[in-house]
């Protein structure tokens, strides 16, 4: 069953909508919009960082809703770079489902220029850097399913489910089903799980052909962040009841 959206914290101020993302780049376009009705929080990369940060915030005060946003890799051949994907179901160590009311709100969004698909978010512990790994992961899903992979959504979903907070997962495809990433980003992580820019730079120096693809990925990421921001802005009015 879905969870009803809380109207307020008990006074005249509405409960906030909190947007979580692993990377500052994923929140950049929303930050530039300076919206007072959204609280934006970077969790860091991966399940552990996301779980810790989301739970910390959920303990602070009652929230109206949580949005988990960011970039994702396509697990379906039909998904193209820049497509928005909204999770009906989130799979990690267990299976969660997005809040029914927020899914209904997402279905009501019809923004110009946004291709929106609904399906399954699959959360893994490491970057999926090779297309063959995406193919292997896709085999665990139904042939007709629209699906994608990321590293935080299950943590957001599990924490919100435990605290009874309505949540929705929205991602934007940054790499297609048949694409490899420019580098093995798992080798570019610090001990806390986050990406080290210095390690990325060093890896690129060792693999000069990666420079052009890294620039392309950066451009894609900027475009994806803009589409995520546009979708969130269109979605928020539908969450107010």
Q: Is residue 83 part of a domain?
A: yes
Reply yes or no on whether the pLDDT at 25 is more than 90. yes
238 or 97: whose pLDDT is higher? 97
Mean of per-residue pLDDT scores for the chain = 89
Q: Is residue 2 part of a domain?
A: no
Q: Is residue 99 part of a domain?
A: yes
- What pLDDT, on the 0 to 100 scale, is given for residue 22? 95
| Region for 10 from its dihedrals, namely left if φ exceeds 0, alpha if ψ lies in -120 to 50, beta otherwise | left
Q: What is the DSSP string of 109-154?
A: ---TT--EEEEEEEE-SS---SHHHHHHHHTTS-TT--EEEESSHH
Counted domains in the chain: 1
Domain of 183, CATH number, reads: 3.40.50.1580
Q: Is residue 5 part of a domain?
A: no
- What pLDDT, on the 0 to 100 scale, is given for residue 52? 96
Q: Is residue 77 part of a domain?
A: yes
Q: Is residue 139 part of a domain?
A: yes
- What pLDDT, on the 0 to 100 scale, is given for residue 115? 85
Q: Which residues make beta-bridge pairs with 171?
A: 70, 85
- What pLDDT, on the 0 to 100 scale, is given for residue 233? 92
Most confident residue range from 55-64, 151-160, 181-190 = 151-160
- What pLDDT, on the 0 to 100 scale, is given for residue 117? 95
pLDDT (average), residues 208-226: 91
User: What is the pTM for the complete model shown?
Assistant: 0.89
**Domain range enclosing 37:** 17-240
């Amino acid at each position: 069953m879905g969870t009803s959206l809380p109207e307020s914290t008990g006074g005249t101020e509405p409960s906030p909508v909190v947007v979580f993302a692993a990377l500052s780049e994923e929140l950049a376009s929303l930050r530039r919009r300076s919206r007072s009705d959204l609280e934006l929080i970077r969790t860091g990369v991966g399940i552990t960082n996301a779980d810790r940060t989301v739970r910390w915030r959920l303990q602070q005060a009652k929230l109206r809703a949580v949005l988990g946003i960011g970039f994702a890799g396509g697990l379906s051949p039909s998904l193209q770079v820049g497509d928005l994907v909204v999770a009906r179901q989130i799979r990690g160590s267990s299976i969660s489902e997005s809040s029914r009311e927020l899914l209904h709100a997402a279905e009501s969004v019809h923004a110009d220029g946004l291709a929106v698909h609904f399906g399954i978010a699959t959360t893994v512990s490491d970057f999926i850097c090779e297309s063959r790994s995406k193919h292997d992961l896709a085999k665990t899903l139904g042939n007709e399913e629209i699906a994608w992979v990321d590293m935080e959504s299950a943590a957001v979903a599990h924490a919100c489910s435990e605290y009874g907070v309505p949540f929705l997962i929205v991602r934007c495809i940054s790499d297609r089903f048949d694409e490899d990433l420019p580098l093995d980003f798992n080798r570019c992580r610090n001990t806390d799980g986050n990406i080290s820019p210095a390690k990325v730079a060093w890896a690129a120096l060792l693999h000069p052909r990666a420079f052009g693809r890294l620039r392309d990925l950066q451009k894609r990421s900027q475009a994806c962040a803009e589409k995520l921001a546009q979708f969130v802005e269109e979605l928020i009015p539908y969450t107010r009841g």
